[in-house]
């Protein structure tokens, strides 16, 4: 634990063989963290996120999978081409990443925006996805007030970057009982990312999916989700600030044969707030016999 009583980042990896490197994913310099052997599992973070969002899961999941955690296009320390980052752009980048790693197929697990991207990718490129996990995929019904909150709080954390604005953005994602898990170290990592040259322009490109006219072209609906053929697990939580459990039930009805589960005592980041539950659900679902 760090001095503030929250999980420290380095101890999550001290006894794990892992690597961080950059690969060319469709022409975009892309940061990845890799660990483990076995079936490939790619983890995708949320809006404004980065690979560190999954560091509490590396030890447990790399014992069973070839784990790949990336900074998606426009995020973290990955390249930030100046164009709106729509789901098509994220999907093309993900395809480039799989190609760069020599992976014809992989399990995909995404949280928030990462879940949206993973589902879109599975619908558009079903031949490349084995199994799919969607964790708090976020605002399935495109509520305007949630879109506005995500847009304003995320952009403010960049345009007025400080320990306070970044911490506020992170703490909003967590359940009331888990806000203490937002460590000074995690805030410092995100602050370093948000103060890079070009961070504001990149974030504005990230946030186009919170604009109603753009979101309308990609929003969750029965038509495109009905094309998902990968076995799918949807992980919801008791305290997700972006959506209620009935939105998870709606998504489960739309995706053929999907299964919905709930993690109590977590908000939008169950991989960080309740890592044991998150990791167990992944092992049970992804390693299950067909």
What does the pLDDT look like over 152-184, one tens digit per residue? Answer: 999 999 999 999 999 999 999 999 999 999 999
pLDDT score of 3 = 52
Tell me which residue has tokens 């879940």: 115
How distant, in Å, are the alpha carbons of 63, 81, 132, 190, 230 from that of 161?
Answer: 37, 21, 34, 10, 40
CB-based burial of residue 39 (10 Å sphere; 0-12 exposed, 13-18 middle, 19+ buried)?
middle
Could you tell me which of 199, 253, 202 has the C-alpha nearest to residue 225? 253
Q: What is the pTM of this model?
A: 0.96
Q: Provide the pairing of β-strand 18-25 with 28-35.
A: antiparallel
Name the catalytic one among 71, 239, 240, 277: 240
Name the catalytic one among 93, 268, 277, 282: 268
Question: What mean pLDDT is predicted for residues 133-141?
Answer: 93
- Is the Cβ–Cβ distance between 164 and 273 less than 8 Å? no
How distant, in Å, are the alpha carbons of 7, 67, 91, 279 from that of 39?
Answer: 28, 8, 21, 15
Query: Sorting pLDDT into bands at 50, 70 and 90, what band is 264?
Result: very high
Report the alpha-carbon distance of residue 132 to residue 31 in Å, rounded. Answer: 22
Look at the domain 10-141+221-286 and name its fold.
Answer: Rossmann fold (3.40.50)
Of 30-34, 99-103, 134-138, 231-235, minimum mean pLDDT range: 134-138
Name the catalytic one among 62, 109, 112, 183: 112
Query: Sorting pLDDT into bands at 50, 70 and 90, what band is 138?
Result: confident
- Is the Cβ–Cβ distance between 119 and 225 less than 8 Å? yes
268 catalytic? Reply is yes
Whether the predicted pLDDT of 256 surpasses 80: yes
Q: Tokens standing for 8?
A: 């420290």
Query: Sorting pLDDT into bands at 50, 70 and 90, what band is 2?
Result: low
């Amino acid at each position: 634990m760090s001095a503030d009583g929250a999980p420290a980042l380095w101890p999550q990896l001290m006894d794990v063989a892992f690597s961080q490197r950059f690969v060319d994913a469709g022409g975009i310099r892309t940061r990845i963290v890799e660990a483990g052997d076995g079936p490939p599992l790619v983890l995708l973070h949320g809006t404004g996120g980065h690979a560190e969002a999954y560091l509490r899961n590396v030890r447990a999941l790399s014992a069973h999978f070839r784990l790949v955690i990336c900074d998606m296009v426009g995020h973290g320390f990955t390249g930030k081409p100046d164009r709106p980052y729509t789901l098509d752009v994220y999907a093309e980048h993900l395809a480039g990443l799989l190609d760069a790693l020599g992976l014809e197929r992989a399990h995909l697990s995404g949280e928030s925006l990462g879940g949206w991207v993973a589902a879109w990718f599975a619908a558009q490129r079903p031949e490349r996805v084995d199994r799919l996990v969607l964790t708090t995929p976020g605002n399935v019904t495109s509520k305007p007030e949630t879109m506005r909150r995500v847009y304003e709080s995320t952009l403010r954390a960049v345009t007025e970057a400080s320990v306070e604005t970044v911490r506020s953005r992170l703490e909003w994602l967590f359940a009331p009982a888990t806000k203490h898990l937002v460590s000074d170290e995690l805030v410092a990592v995100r602050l370093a990312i948000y103060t890079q040259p070009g961070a504001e322009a990149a974030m504005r490109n990230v946030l186009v999916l919170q604009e109603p006219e753009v979101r309308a072209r990609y929003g969750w609906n029965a038509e495109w989700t009905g094309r998902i053929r990968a076995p799918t697990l949807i992980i919801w939580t008791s305290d997700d600030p972006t959506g209620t459990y009935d939105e998870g039930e709606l998504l489960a009805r739309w995706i053929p044969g999907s299964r919905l589960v709930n993690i109590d005592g977590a908000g939008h980041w169950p991989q960080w707030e309740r890592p044991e539950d998150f990791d167990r659900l992944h092992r049970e679902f992804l390693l299950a016999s067909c």
